[in-house]
A and B are shown apart, each in its own frame.
Chain A
Amino acid sequence: MAVCIAVIAKENYPLYIQSITTENELKFHYTVHTSLDVVDEKISAMGKALVDQRELYLGLLYPTEDYKVYGYVTNSKVKFVMVADSSNTALRDNEIHSMFQKLHNSYIDVMCNPFYNPGDCIHSRAFDNMLTSMMMQVC
């Protein structure tokens, strides 16, 4: 279902990007990078007061010809971006939502690792496996 999942630091550099195939990797990187503009726009569109109690899930950021890009922002402004194949119409919004929540949970696990330095790229086998399973799930 998801073809690319990315974790982006608060400062907008990638902590983790994984895509299902390597051939389109560059394209996914560009897509994810460009989607950050929409994330920024969505966050800044919300009022200051709302930011604290907002929904973390941002919903569909934008659709491209072949893909749909979804976003999710944690309270510490770490962004999760998921690119899904737009041909997969079976994918519902709440499924995406729950995928993001799963992703958030594994991200928290990574953060809980005392040997992980916040801000470093994520090198974690458990995280890898989690994401791979998320990308394989429905395929």
Chain B
Amino acid sequence: GGGCGGRRPGGRAAAERRGACGGEMAQCVQSVQEFIQDSFVPLVAALCSEEAERLTRKNNLGFSELVKPFCRLTSEVHMRDPNNQLHVIKNLKIAVNNIITHSPQPGGIRKLLNDVVSVSQPTEGLVTNVITAGDYDLNISATTPWFESYRESFLQSMPASDHEFLNHYVACMLVVSSGEPEPVEQFLKLSQEQHRIQHSSEYAYPKWFIPNTLKYYVLLHDVSAGEEQRADSVYEEMKQRYGTQGCYLLKINSRGSNRGADEQIPDPWSQYLQKNSIQTQESYDDGPYTVISNKNADHLISDDLDNDIQVDGLSNNFKAHPLQLDHLSDTSSSFDGTDYIKTTSSLHESKKTSSGTPHGACLTLTDHDRIRQFIQEFTFRGLLPHIEKTIRQLNDQLISRKGLSRSLFSATKKWFSGSKVPEKSINELKNTSGLLYPPEAPELQIRKMADLCFLVQHYELAYSCYHTAKKDFLNDQAMLYAAGALEMAAVSAFLQPGAPRPYPAHYMDTAIQTYRDICKNMVLAERCVLLSAEILKSQSKYSDAAALLIRLTSEDSDLRSALLLEQAAHCFINMKSPMVRKFAFHMILAGHRYSKAGQKKHALRCYSQAMQVYKGKGWSLAEDHINFTIGRQSFTLRQLDNAVSAFRHILINDSKQPAAQQGTFLREYLYVYKNVTQLSPDGPLPQLPLPYINNSATRVFFGHDRRPSEGEKQAATHISLDQEYDCESSHQWKELEEQVVAVVNKGIIPSNFQPTQYCLNSYSDNSKFPLAVVEEPVTVEVAFRNPLKVPLLLTDLSLLWKFQPKDFNAKHNGETKELACGNDMIGAEVIAEFLINSEETKMARLKLFPHQTGELHILGVVYNLGTIQGTMMLDGIDPSIGLQAGKFVYNGMSVRGRQELEIQGPRLNNTKEEKTSIKYGPDRRLDPIITEEMPLLEVFFINFPTGLLCGEIRKAYVEFVNVSKCPLTALKVVSKHPEFFYFWWKYCCSNTTESLSF
């Protein structure tokens, strides 16, 4: 053994440190070097007796969990390399795991990773970066913790492979409690057990680094319960037997479990175990369990197990691997929709329970320090000397064999396989990935040495070993091994202090290609990509990193593809000149993959981020698509308001989509809206976006509809809604009216005079409140326009109004009643069905019947918006397009809602202030004052000539009818040419109808 170096006291920071670096890919708190170092750490197995496990269980922790927060060394360590050079190891981390004799199931890993990602959602206060690129200001989350946790879990859950040794166990801790009747016997049992697991052919898993694994004997002593003297004496015996360097007495549980008063002790486990509780559904009985994959073995073991437990309490509950699924069928059904919701909810529960129960309740701060010291002691005195020795041995073997075997091997090979160029291009060797060495093959020894060097941070030596190994493997055409060596050669070249050589990215590329295309091992390829992308990014080679990430997206894993695409998108935005559009596009691709993987929230987040780039830039097709997806995702996540606004966007933007697509949009919108309204049936009526209303084209008509001309009788008016407005004639009429009023009032026009306007439109003077008469209808013509290529059906269409009753004679104000306060005051006409064809402008005439005097305000229209059935068929487009979009049956679904009528008045242009600013006058078209009953005159011409000769005299009849109950007096007839007319009266029929001929 060599000099194991200095020891620095303390280092609670070790645990806290990890918490601080919730590192991230785009902006990583953890440096790349640290990330890679932590991805490959020496693995130590732990095998506990049942009694020992019981002691740690008091703290609600397994043994491996107990030591987990203390597994990073805070002090530097020295060791000597084979050339006797001093080598410094900094910041070393080890991993202590329970033995699991079952390789993790791919389905289980997939589920685990899916859960890890779905649990990690952006928090409210997540830091967002504002990135300005060109005319874009983008809010982008600065960190992607879900990717971080995915990557961590991915690397941890990687199954050990035969072509590399990095995640093979270097050592094994045997843990026994001092409270047991025969601790020494127990140690022997455990030792045999370990030997059996490693060397019997029953277990292909876990994998061990070298045949003689370091065994480290740990005596666990419960301070609060056990006898100290006994523990000490057992420890003495152990020291005799295993040497001082091979065993340890660890005292824990100094605090009685019942004392809960001083809860000040920090809980370093929480940050690890939250993750753990997600990873392992039964994390707390995750003891020394070995898992058996095959039934026979199970039988065999449990037989002698029973005895064991009875006799000496050797614990060997062979539990299921945490990554093993209970029902494998679950995985095959993937994670779509409902399934996903179940898993997350159960996850949340398990998270709650785990955070509810405190860990380490029986441990004092001294105990924490003891555990920390134990790990240090183990690493300094046990693990590192063992590794150092092993490296030395391997090195010696290699040197001794080099002379002989290398030359022999290559000579024979050359002899048999003809002249071969040693450095063959990978592509030519495609068929040879099958070559596998036996575990102890001499060819693998150099790889073993390289891996050991790598684990203890001796990257120079590791690099040269990997490099040699790579050549050997390539010569043997052992492609899997060659790829592994290439991968690690690249990584160790990068990690070499002082960077003597540039990062060989092409090594990585070859490794990835080999893993993926020749070995068909996507997991290994993914690891390569994650490592390489991180390294490239640290060197600001963002486009290379992005290309790498994108290349690994494939059909076999949606989750992986989604995460990698998202990271690629982040690469694009982090480039020196940010590629905003590429970012957005890859975000959309990521969102698509997320949604396929059942990660709805992540999908929504991706689409929303991409939306920032597309919004309002004229790319309507893309914008519609994103809005539609956002609407869908929000709907499934029950974010109905978001869903509604997203769908609304699609419909109100002048959509260039084909009719079928628009029909789908509309139906989805209606469906979502229906859900919203069902949730809150008493809420105010929603504002509907469709159809458009051309507010300024609204016309208002006061009075009854004119009776149409029947036979020779012809209504003597041009004013009706069917008439176009004629500026000139209406001006003439106005003048005439003014003249007659002046005559009646002895030449003066009263100041409150207002020319009669039966029909108000955008040309008429709408600055004053118009007068309407009680019991006479008010007709409002609303101009609807359907912007879509599918017809819209409005049902139960009527006006929305507000009325304040006022008696204009008696001067008392009636209380103001608002909005549809009964038909006794205002009657409203309802149009049962109003169909607007695609891209059609259509007028709807709606009537109100005021029954009381007062002030009426017409606010808007209220209607059910719906589609007509079978739209798709009408357009001659395959109906299946529409059907696949949603699982709902659209039976002319409709939603009740409203739209306001808001008419902007004319622009004011009189005063200087009005001229310099933009001001609009009021428009009171829709705010008539309902006055008391008035006479209402209707006039008809009978036999009115349409053409006259000059000087011809014809007789025509004019019929005056007062249709109101109010008497009409002082009728005057005005004409611009009074000299043309001669009147004589013929009083006729009733007292309200008079005829006049002239």
Contact = CB atoms under 8 A, between A and B. Distances in A.
Contact of B619 (A22, A33, A37, A40): A33
A11 interface: yes
A29 B621 contact: yes
A129 interface: no
Contacts, number: 42
Contacts of A34: 581-582, 584-585
A30 B592 CA distance: 14
A11 B616 CA distance: 12
Given A11-B135, A41-B579, A33 B585 contact: yes
Contacts of B619: 13-14, 29, 33
A26 interface: yes
Interface in B615-638: 617-619, 621-622, 625
Contacts of B584: 33-34
B618 A26 contact: no
B622 A29 contact: yes
A44 interface: yes
A44 B588 contact: no
Nearest to B617: A13
A54 B135 CA distance: 25
A47 B117 CA distance: 45
Interface in B597-611: none
Contacts of B622: 26, 29-30, 33
Interface in A12-34: 12-14, 22, 25-26, 29-30, 33-34
The number of chain B residues touching the other chain, given as a range, is 10 to 19
Contacts of A14: 618-619
A25 B577 contact: no
B582 A37 contact: yes
A29 B677 CA distance: 35
Interface string B568-597: 000010000101111011001000000000
**Most A CB atoms within 10 A — which of B572, B579, B584, B621?**
B621
Contacts of A130: none
Nearest to B621: A29
B658 interface: yes
B585 A30 contact: yes
Nearest to A62: B582
A81 B581 CA distance: 15
B576 to A, nearest CB: 10
A37 B577 CA distance: 10
Contacts of B658: 22
Contacts of B614: 33
B618 to A, nearest CB: 3
A41 B622 CA distance: 22
Interface in B705-743: none
A36 interface: yes
B588 A30 contact: yes
A62 to B, nearest CB: 10
B544 to A, nearest CB: 15
A34 B135 CA distance: 15
Nearest to B586: A34
A26 B625 contact: yes
A122 to B, nearest CB: 13
A63 B357 CA distance: 56
A13 B621 contact: no
Given A11-B135, A22-B658, A37 B621 contact: no
A72 B373 CA distance: 68
Interface in B119-151: 134-135
B617 A12 contact: yes
A25 to B, nearest CB: 6
Nearest to B581: A37
A22 B585 CA distance: 20
B834 to A, nearest CB: 31
Interface string B302-346: 000000000000000000000000000000000000000000000
Interface in B543-583: 572, 577, 579-582
Contacts of A29: 619, 621-622
A22 B877 CA distance: 13
Contacts of B618: 13-14
A76 B212 CA distance: 75
Interface string A33-74: 110110011001000000000000000000000000000000
Contacts of A33: 581, 584-585, 614, 619, 622
Contacts of B582: 34, 37
Contacts of B579: 37, 40-41
A33 B622 CA distance: 9
A37 B580 contact: yes
Contacts of A37: 572, 579-582
A37 B581 CA distance: 6
Contact of B621 (A11, A25, A44): A25
**Most A CB atoms within 10 A — which of B135, B581, B588, B617?**
B581
B719 to A, nearest CB: 38
Nearest to B614: A33
B610 to A, nearest CB: 10
A44 B581 CA distance: 16
A5 to B, nearest CB: 15
Contacts of B577: 40-41, 44
Interface in A81-137: none
Nearest to B616: A13
**Most B CB atoms within 10 A — which of A25, A30, A37?**
A37
A41 B621 CA distance: 25
Interface in B848-878: none
A44 B619 CA distance: 23
B547 to A, nearest CB: 11
A4 to B, nearest CB: 12
Contacts of B617: 12-13
Contacts of A22: 658
Interface string B675-708: 0000000000000000000000000000000000
B581 A26 contact: no
Nearest to B575: A41
A13 B136 CA distance: 13
B564 to A, nearest CB: 17
A44 to B, nearest CB: 6
B590 to A, nearest CB: 13
Nearest to B580: A37
B961 to A, nearest CB: 54
B666 to A, nearest CB: 18
Nearest to A9: B618
B585 to A, nearest CB: 4
A41 B617 CA distance: 19
A36 B588 CA distance: 16
A83 B618 CA distance: 19
A137 B794 CA distance: 47
**Most B CB atoms within 10 A — which of A14, A29, A34, A36?**
A34
A29 B625 CA distance: 11
A22 B621 CA distance: 11
A92 to B, nearest CB: 27
B581 A36 contact: yes
Nearest to B658: A22
B342 to A, nearest CB: 33
Contacts of B135: 11-12
A12 B817 CA distance: 54
A13 B614 CA distance: 10
A12 B617 CA distance: 8
A39 B581 CA distance: 11
Given A26-B622, A37-B581, A40-B579, 9 more contacts: A29-B619, A29-B622, A30-B622, A33-B584, A34-B581, A34-B582, A34-B584, A41-B579, A44-B577
5 contacts: A26-B622, A29-B622, A33-B614, A33-B622, A41-B577
Interface of A: 11-14, 22, 25-26, 29-30, 33-34, 36-37, 40-41, 44
Ranked 3 nearest A-B pairs via Cβ: A13-B618, A37-B579, A34-B585
Interface of B: 134-135, 572, 577, 579-582, 584-585, 588, 614, 617-619, 621-622, 625, 658
